[in-house]
Amino acid sequence: MSRRFVVLAATLMLIVSACGGTGTSGTTTAPAATTAPVAVATTAAPTAAPPCTVGVSWNNYQEERWAKWDEPAIKAAIAAGGGKYISNDAKSSAETQASNVDNLISQGAKVVIVLAQDGTAIKPSVAKAIQNGVAVIAYDRLIEDPKALYITFDNVLVGKLEAQSVFAAKASGNYVIIKGNKADANADFLRGGYDQVIKAAVTSGAIKIVGETYTDNWDPAKAQTEMEQFLTANSNKVDAVLSENDGMAGGVVAALTAQGLAGKVPVSGQDGDKAALNRIALGTQTVDVWKDSRALGKSAGEAAMQLCKNSDITKVTGTAPFTTPGGNTVSSILLQPDPITSANLKDVLDAGWITKADLCQGVAAGKNASCN
Amino acid sequence: MSGPPIPNAPTAEGRPAGSIASVFGPIGAALAPVRRTLSYLEVDTRLLGMVLALAVIWVSFDLVSGGTFLSPRNLWNLSVQSSSIAIMATGMVLVIVSRGIDLSVGSMLGFLGYTMAMTQAVWIPQALGLGFDRPYTWIIAVVVGVALGAVIGGLQGFVIAYGGVPSFIVTLGGLLVWRGLIFRYAQGQTIAPLDQNFQMLGGGTVGTRVGALGEWASWILGAVICVAIVYTLITGRRRRRRYGFPNRPLWAEAMLGLAGCAVALGVMWVANSYPLPINVALQYGQEHGITPPPGGLIIPTGLAFPVVIMLGVTVVMTFIASRRRFGRYVYAIGGNPEAAALAGINVRRTLMLTFSLMGALVALSAAVQTARLDAAVTNLGVQNELDVISAAVIGGTSFAGGIGTIPGAILGAVVMQSLRSGMVLLLVDSPTQDIVVGIVLVAAVGLDTALRRRTT
């Protein structure tokens, strides 16, 4: 009986995996690209009539954000410019992504938008594409190639905006800083942004940093434990908390609530999580720096349509030179994030990012104008 | 994970009480009176060793932190922080004792936490239109979670026991599947806020309600535990006499009873020494029309609910492991699966049930963790499997199978969490924390193995 069961289960699994494998965004992965990409470029060039094809290489389409917010915005911008959208998914594998980029080019892509799984491992594929006259856009994550256009939100600015709101609420006293994953460069970009605001006050002694730590995996539960320990060590004398994202801010607020301090101590965050926006309406979180993925997608789609006509990345509107941590100067478009506080909660409602029911759950009448 | 049997590993627990010190030669001679006393008390010396190690850790942290570590407040926090891992560790002991492993507990915890959060924050109030914060919501959420946990665990156990796939592989698959499912159906969203009654399970605060027993209930629970210990000693004595086994001397029984009662009441005393935070107490005073006295309003918090759940789980699991047929089967299978099968034990059924039980316990931990955070997040429980396995192993559970105790695993969880939260208290950065915990894990198991080898 047991053997039969195993065979049955194995067959079922094969069927399931075969069905699940095909459909991310309607484009199937073509059989291995043996033809040189050069051939495609030359055949596509002479006639201007067919629409310009833009290929997107996702690193992990499984994550909610890409399918829900980014892809529709990119698609819409490309459609508006009269282009054609194709895509594939690397399923979190740097190797797969390298062949996926080749694949998009052999399917006729003139511009490739890459959400890099690994910004270093993808470099050879990107260099090859650029040599073949295909323009490359590094989407959201940096690729260390001076000829690739880098489009992202300004992460240092995100940190700066978080710190500004908290600093405005509490310009002196004991600060706690809850940072994200130590292996993630963004954690240090954000910390750099904090310094732009609080460094002077720290040096003068007005602000004392009584606790600062990295948090593995940006884990909210770990952040809660860290906050509890910092509160214990300082006998609750904590005046402000800089938390690098919303998830961890949730842990921090839970720890503050246990001490009856929630709403009395300013707390920062970013990402526009529904729960965090609700906390802002409730008054337990001070600021949520919101990066509208739709703006990022739109910007990338529009840039791609411009690159179809002229592949010089410095000619795309809105670009500025950006010096990377690796010392390269790349042409980049850095989008401005929006700090959301109790004063401008209306913005996220108007943008359709969150429903009023989610935003205002548990908020007492008259507490926030956006909930009335 | 049934590796080749290790020649030196003992296959049964035995009672190394009298012999353990004898290998130390001169030291052993000097400790002879202690040894004799311990042999009369029939205390598990390995457990006693762990208690001593924990005491050393606590006192060192307390000295370095200038008295903060052993403050009632920190101990209260520590008890809550440890309980979720401890609850799961009790199940992991049985899994490892039966020569298995469960790598999926962290992902399963996330999945079950999500399901419970959805049940109380979306399905009941919105899909069924019954509204938020109903008195029955939290019960339904927990029942749904525990039932689903038992089913999921049982499913994994079925594939392991009846499909013959190694538990390492099945639960490694589970680790990926359950985490993937969270992303699939949660779409990366945080579910919050949760039901107010449910939040009590995490020991959190809602307004002036705190997830703890309060002063008198804590004392009463302490007294009940005390009575239970004395009762167990008396019935144990009677049973031994009936079967003609030698009994401990009366003074030894009295000492054990007193020590047990002292620990039970001591824990309650510490929990009651932690007063409600000033802001919460003030608000409580206003609501109940109490004018705060000049020294401030001091309301004892009492034992936190997560700890109460953990104690309940410990009692039930210890009972199952040592007094029920199922528990004895698990140890027999771990000691020698072939012999167990030949002796007529339904090995497959027992193994499947072990994983099912693990799943139900994961659900309880998931309830505690989500309630504590007042949110279900997609990376809830990431890497918890490592903490749980470490707790079980530090607590003396052997990968060779057949050896491991529930109280040991609880102590292991407390040791792990003490190290972690103690280091945060001392502002040690997280890479260093990982290094220390890693070294302690290997050192603890290495020492344990060395001692075991010398005593057999």
pLDDT per residue over B367-399, tens digit each? 999 999 988 988 888 889 999 999 999 998 988
- Contact (Cβ atoms closer than 8 angstroms) between residue B202 and residue B370: yes
8 Å CB contact of B374 and A257: yes
Judging contacts by C-beta atoms under 8 Å, the chain B residues touching residue A211 are 427
Q: Find, in chain A, the residue whose alpha carbon is nearest to that of B81.
A: A225
Helices vs strands, H then E, count in chain B:
18, 2
pLDDT per residue over A199-223, tens digit each? 999 999 999 999 999 988 788 999 9
Q: Find, in chain A, the residue whose alpha carbon is nearest to that of B122.
A: A358
Judging contacts by C-beta atoms under 8 Å, the chain A residues touching residue B68 are 232-233
Best mutation site among B69, B76, B77 for testing chain A: the one with the most A CBs within 10 Å?
A: B77
User: Global pTM?
Assistant: 0.77
8 Å CB contact of A62 and B184: yes
Both structure tokens of B390:
């470490």
Q: Å from A363 to nearest chain B CA? A: 11
Q: Å from B162 to nearest chain A CA? A: 6
Identity of the residue numbered A297: G
**At residue B204, what are phi and psi to the nearest 5 degrees?**
-85, -175
pLDDT at residue number B24: 53
pLDDT per residue over B32-78, tens digit each? 777 777 777 777 778 888 899 899 999 999 999 888 899 999 999 99
Judging contacts by C-beta atoms under 8 Å, the chain A residues touching residue B163 are 2, 5-6, 9
Residue listed under structure tokens 């739709």: A294
Select from A2, A230, A258 the Cβ nearest to the Cβ of B163: A2
pLDDT at residue number B332: 95
Mean pLDDT value across residues B123-148? 90
Least confident range from A59-63, B62-66, B353-357: namely: A59-63
Q: Which residues pair with A322 in a beta bridge?
A: A330
Checking if the pLDDT of A151 tops 50, the result is yes
Mean pLDDT over the full length of chain B: 87
pLDDT at residue number A42: 44
Select from B164, B204, B381 the Cβ nearest to the Cβ of A6: B164
Q: Find, in chain A, the residue whose alpha carbon is nearest to that of B371.
A: A254
Q: Which residues pair with A58 in a beta bridge?
A: A89
Q: Which of B379, B382, B403 is nearest to B393 (CA)?
A: B403
Q: Å from B207 to nearest chain A CA? A: 8
Residue A72: how many CB atoms within 10 A of its CB?
14
pLDDT confidence tier of residue A194, bands split at 50, 70 and 90: very high
Select from A2, A236, A247 the Cβ nearest to the Cβ of B164: A2
Helix (H) or strand (E) holding B380: none
Select from A65, A212, A260 the Cβ nearest to the Cβ of B283: A260
Best mutation site among A91, A214, A232 for testing chain B: the one with the most B CBs within 10 Å?
A: A232
Mean pLDDT value across residues B4-12? 43
Both structure tokens of A119:
């910004």
pLDDT per residue over A312-355, tens digit each? 888 888 888 888 777 888 899 999 999 999 999 999 999 888 99
pLDDT at residue number B4: 44
Checking if the pLDDT of B79 tops 90, the result is yes
Judging contacts by C-beta atoms under 8 Å, the chain B residues touching residue A274 are 189-190
Mean pLDDT over the full length of chain A: 84
Residue B216: how many CB atoms within 10 A of its CB?
11
pLDDT confidence tier of residue B159, bands split at 50, 70 and 90: very high
Judging contacts by C-beta atoms under 8 Å, the chain A residues touching residue B372 are 221, 224, 254
Select from A246, A261, A362 the Cβ nearest to the Cβ of B279: A261
Checking if the pLDDT of A14 tops 60, the result is no
In the A/B pair of chains, how many CB contacts fall below 8 A?
136
Judging contacts by C-beta atoms under 8 Å, the chain A residues touching residue B377 are 220, 247, 250
pLDDT at residue number A8: 54
Mean pLDDT value across residues B219-228? 95
- The residues near B309 (Cβ < 8 Å, ≥ 6 apart) are B83, B87, B201, B364, B368
Identity of the residue numbered B289: G
pLDDT at residue number A17: 47
Q: Å from B157 to nearest chain A CA? A: 13
Judging contacts by C-beta atoms under 8 Å, the chain B residues touching residue A254 are 204, 372-375
DSSP B50-69: HHHHHHHHHHHHHHHTTT-T
Runs of H (alpha helix) within B65-136? 72-97, 105-118
Q: Å from A79 to nearest chain B CA? A: 26
Judging contacts by C-beta atoms under 8 Å, the chain A residues touching residue B183 are 62-64
pLDDT at residue number B78: 93
Q: Find, in chain A, the residue whose alpha carbon is nearest to that of B421.
A: A229
8 Å CB contact of A9 and B77: no
- The residues near B327 (Cβ < 8 Å, ≥ 6 apart) are B94, B320, B321
pLDDT at residue number B41: 77
Checking if the pLDDT of B99 tops 60, the result is yes
pLDDT confidence tier of residue B5, bands split at 50, 70 and 90: very low
Runs of H (alpha helix) within B134-249? 137-161, 167-186, 196-199, 215-242
Judging contacts by C-beta atoms under 8 Å, the chain B residues touching residue A258 are 203-205, 277
Sheet holding A268-270, edge to edge: A268-270, A287-290, A338-340
Residue B205: how many CB atoms within 10 A of its CB?
25
Q: Give the torsion sign (CA, B20, B24, B27, B32).
A: positive
Q: How far apart are CA A291 and CA A353, in angstroms?
A: 11
Checking if the pLDDT of A165 tops 70, the result is yes
Mean pLDDT value across residues A129-140? 91
Best mutation site among B279, B299, B352 for testing chain A: the one with the most A CBs within 10 Å?
A: B279
Q: Which of A349, A367, A366, A350 is nearest to A358 (CA)?
A: A349
Calculate what percentage of chain B has a pLDDT beyond 90. 57
Q: Find, in chain A, the residue whose alpha carbon is nearest to that of B185.
A: A64
pLDDT at residue number B337: 92
Residue listed under structure tokens 């040894």: B35
pLDDT at residue number A11: 55
Least confident range from A139-143, A246-250, B269-273: namely: A139-143
Checking if the pLDDT of A88 tops 60, the result is yes
Classify residue B186 as exposed, middle or buried by CB count within 10 Å of its CB (0-12, 13-18, 19+).
buried
